[in-house]
Chains A and B, each alone.
Chain A
Amino acid sequence: MALLSFVNVTKRFGKILALDRLSIEVNDGDYLCILGPTGSGKTTLLKLMAGLLNPDEGTIYFDGKPVNEVNIQNRNAVYVPQRYALFPHLTVLENVAFGPLARGKPDSVALETASKTLDLVRLSSRAQALPNELSGGMQQRVALARGLASGARLLLLDEPLSAIDARLRLDLRHKIRDIVKESGLTAIHVTHDQDEAMSVGDEIMILRHGRIQDLGPPRRVYRKPAGISVANLFGGASFFEGIVENTVGETALISARGLIIQAPSRTLTLTSPVILGLRKERVRISRDEPDLDNVFRGEIRSVRYLGNSKEYLIRLSNGDSIASRQFADNKVGFKVRDQVSVSFRENDVMVFEYPVLGLSRELEVT
């Protein structure tokens, strides 16, 4: 049974619609990542789960029971805010023991739970320190330990790594996942970092304008995104507008401002407008013309060096731009204004319905 479910939950702040008839189910033991741009409703969603906000419409269920009216302290859902909110007047141990004590556990039991949990996050040596004596990464772990020790079943992490150095962040995100999994907890992890979401979530939810754009395992969401905005937010892509000219078996021929692009034909209607998307690592560039489904001529407009790879922006003969990422072992380097061949396989072309409000609207990230 689902640990947590939302049925048609709507939340408004004045005229702003923060969440729009949202329905989800989170199963026991899941690690769900919520990815979305600023203002997409991520934090609102977390606060509704924690009981810090109440829905305007719809119902939230915990273990199958409606909890709209249940107090924050009885939800068994721990909210870990972005900057952790460690109590500055309490030691690390006391912070971690706060949950069990607040639920009426005797001192000895609470302190034992706390020290065990501190062991788990490897901070036993700092039990008597005050929070402001710890580094950001340590504070993060204390916040996590405090949540774990409270006996909550659901951990709500609001951008848990946003205040931490980039280098440490990579390390910590796996630690958090490991600790949560070891303790058999369910976690909801909100982030705006797509790499973080991809690497820690069992499932990823893409949120935009208060609606779920896509929900599924990271691999599926990356390879077959449910929509243009999902492809754009999760991995990014070059997009083209086109019209279905013809379909031949599994292949559709799509005319994009003078170029004919071969794409997988799902259920495409002739003459219907579509949007094509291409991941940059799927786009190859070369001096000679390779034997691929789609090969076009273009001119390099810019080069960005990224350490293990290079990113090129190429202008095609029809004036559209396409991005390509080439890994460093590719010895052939290109310069701005080089004339090159741009190629990609038919199956790598993502085909989307033409959005009602136009492409540029779909690509806005706020």
Chain B
Amino acid sequence: MSGADSRVDSSSTLTRLLLFLERVSANPGIIKAVYSIAVLFFLSIVITPAVAGIIAQMLSLSSLELNGVVLTRMERAVSWSFIIGLVVSTLDVLAGIPLAWVIVRKRGRWTTILDSLADIPFVVPTVALGFSILEFWSSPLGIAQLFGYSLVTPGSALIMLLHFAFSFPVIVRVMVGEFLNYRETYEVAARTLGASTFTAVRTVTFPILRPGILAAFLLALARSLSETGATIVVAGAFENGTVFISNARSAGLTSAVVVASLILIVTSLVVFALIKIIAPRIRITPLRVWPKFERKLGRPPVVAARDAASITIFLVFVLFPCLFIALPAILAVASGTGTEAIAGTGPWGAFWSSMLLSYTIAVVATVLNIISGLPMAILIARNRYGTRITRIVDVLVDLPIIVPSLALGVSLNFFWRNMGSLPEFWVIVLAHMTITYSYFVRAMTASIQEVQPELEDAAKTLGARPLRVFRRITLPLTKYALLSGAILVFTRSVDETGATSAVSKTLKTAPILLVSWIKGTVPVTPAERALGVGFLVVTSFLALVVLRLVAIRQPSRKVT
């Protein structure tokens, strides 16, 4: 029996299995069952654990032992969360849009490079990002070397710099997609009607792209409101909502944790709902034009200055601070620390096993999220259950990204601990699935909505069964979204700190281990922790590159 024979054998087994599944998929009952399971899964694994834990915990408290001092602290921390979130997200939108514009409209090799560079902050685990930004802005070895003194000390300003940096790539990613899908004919029409480039973009392009800009803003806001791991690193003595929750938890103030979490969740939901309802109704009067002034803004030197400014902001406030961590790591590799690390001696044994754990969890969570998220995305995109239910589900899907990650962790921890003796590994996987669920479903839903239902109908009339239609038509047309959804899930899982630290007892994922290194709970040298973070960055970046290579060419860039 030769190897070739067995391969043919196995492929025909696979074909037979697929054919069998396709036949099964033609049964309406089976289809209904698949969707029902997806919804049940969503409600039981994603939504319930995210909030039930915290609610149950609140109900179990005999009394809310909150003294005035803690209350004032909490109030101030939560308001800071919103101030920082709103300010940073606005700045991110203002800075991210011009960069996305440069990437899409100035096609060339260097903009492709810029496009990939914009993804780097995605792959730096947030805790490493926090560390990197702390070093860059406030350590004597960072930018202080240029000025002789530290520019920014840990606190609210540094939190803003951090949140600006990690939300920036989200904005750029979303806006690049929006610009690519935008029909430039609108802009062209405006210009032949006598509008200057600047006027055309301001009065036509931006108003048309408003839903996309709003979505980008809300993603940035959600991330800023809920991020915990990196924020703790740069907060110093300052407290925003998530840092307060973390500090209260360390101090054993359970009722403060519960109340602060609930307040953050409820306020976030209200703010989100308000923004979602109000923003599309604001009728900007775009028809006010200052032809001379706006024409000047479109002149080549002004445009060049704007492009230069947006690229500079990206480099100085996002890329350099994020990669600053790589500098000591390079030195560390050259020294003895590098060989020690590779040999796995000293603290490195624990490091490598935590890396392995992190990537295993990320792979499992990503695969499970794809399997459970796909039917859900189709369900929402195709309005399977009628408009009203679909709309409710649509809102619920966003819940896990709104809830502060540590609060989510507290809730998840409470929920899964009370669900019996689940192995810790699976508790972390389930927690990560809850945290990352929305990213995948969001990306897929948007993409499936863009596939014309006529294509699927055509395939059906040609005799294809539902599963085949999905495999051959819907999936190939949405694979870019599948990839970017998977990338988001994977990177979020690898860099997640807040919720993971809440649910883990003995297992340490890489970010958790690095937090203990950075905080000094585990004695390591500065070279070692720099190298540890550097390894995590490099491996994540490589994972991303591999994912991209395995998957797909770039989406086609439309001209007019």
Contact = CB atoms under 8 A, between A and B. Distances in A.
B188 A81 contact: yes
Given A101-B289, A102-B289, A87 B194 contact: no
A87 B197 CA distance: 16
B188 A52 contact: yes
B183 A85 contact: yes
Interface string A173-197: 0000000000000000000000000
B190 A79 contact: no
Interface in A217-245: none
Interface string B312-335: 000000000000000000000000
A187 B292 CA distance: 29
- In this complex, the member of A72, A80, A97, A150 whose beta carbon has the largest number of chain B beta carbons within 10 angstroms is A72
B211 to A, nearest CB: 11
Interface in B273-306: 286-292
17 contacts: A50-B192, A51-B192, A52-B560, A79-B189, A79-B192, A83-B185, A84-B189, A87-B190, A87-B204, A87-B207, A90-B286, A102-B193, A102-B196, A102-B200, A110-B287, A146-B193, A152-B194
B191 interface: yes
A228 B191 CA distance: 40
Contacts of A103: 194, 291
A160 interface: no
A130 to B, nearest CB: 12
B185 A89 contact: no
A90 B191 CA distance: 16
Contact of B189 (A75, A81, A110, A151): A81
A98 B193 contact: yes
Nearest to A103: B194
Interface string B195-213: 1110110011001101000
Interface residues of A, number: 37
Contacts of A99: 193-194
Contact of A104 (B185, B210, B292): B292
A71 B210 CA distance: 27
Which 4 interchain pairs have the tightest Cβ spacing? A102-B195, A104-B291, A85-B189, A99-B193
B199 A102 contact: yes
B426 interface: no
A355 interface: no
A102 B185 contact: no
Given A72-B192, A78-B192, A98-B190, A89 B183 contact: no
B149 interface: no
A73 interface: yes
A72 B198 CA distance: 13
A143 to B, nearest CB: 8
Interface in B72-109: none
Nearest to A149: B193
A98 B194 CA distance: 9
A87 B208 contact: yes
A147 interface: yes
Contacts of A77: 192
A104 B194 CA distance: 9
A354 B289 CA distance: 59
Contact of A150 (B194, B196, B199, B291): B194
A227 B159 CA distance: 75
Contacts of A80: 189
A94 B285 CA distance: 10
A104 B290 CA distance: 6
A147 B207 contact: no
A290 interface: no
Taking chain B's interface residues, is the majority helix, strand, or loop, or is none over half, making it mixed? Answer: helix
Nearest to A102: B195
A64 interface: no
A66 interface: no
A73 B191 contact: yes
A39 interface: no
B186 interface: yes
B195 A73 contact: yes
Nearest to A74: B194
A85 B207 contact: no
Given A78-B192, A104-B290, A146-B193, 9 more contacts: A71-B196, A75-B192, A80-B189, A81-B188, A87-B208, A88-B208, A102-B193, A102-B194, A152-B192
Nearest to A76: B194
Contacts of B287: 90, 94, 97-98, 101, 107, 110
A94 to B, nearest CB: 6
A169 to B, nearest CB: 21
A85 B193 contact: no
Contacts of B188: 52, 72, 79, 81, 85
A79 B204 CA distance: 16
Interface string A62-73: 000000000111
Interface in B216-274: none
Interface in B8-36: none
A72 B193 CA distance: 9
A76 B191 CA distance: 10
Given A52-B188, A85-B183, A97-B287, A147 B208 contact: no
B193 A78 contact: yes
Contacts of B199: 102
- In this complex, the member of A71, A89, A97, A150 whose beta carbon has the largest number of chain B beta carbons within 10 angstroms is A89
B185 A87 contact: no
A233 to B, nearest CB: 26
Nearest to B195: A102
A101 B203 CA distance: 11
B202 to A, nearest CB: 11
A87 B289 CA distance: 16
A73 B196 contact: yes
A85 B207 CA distance: 14
B292 to A, nearest CB: 7
A73 B192 contact: yes
A276 to B, nearest CB: 43
B39 to A, nearest CB: 32
B207 A89 contact: yes
Contacts of B195: 73, 98, 102
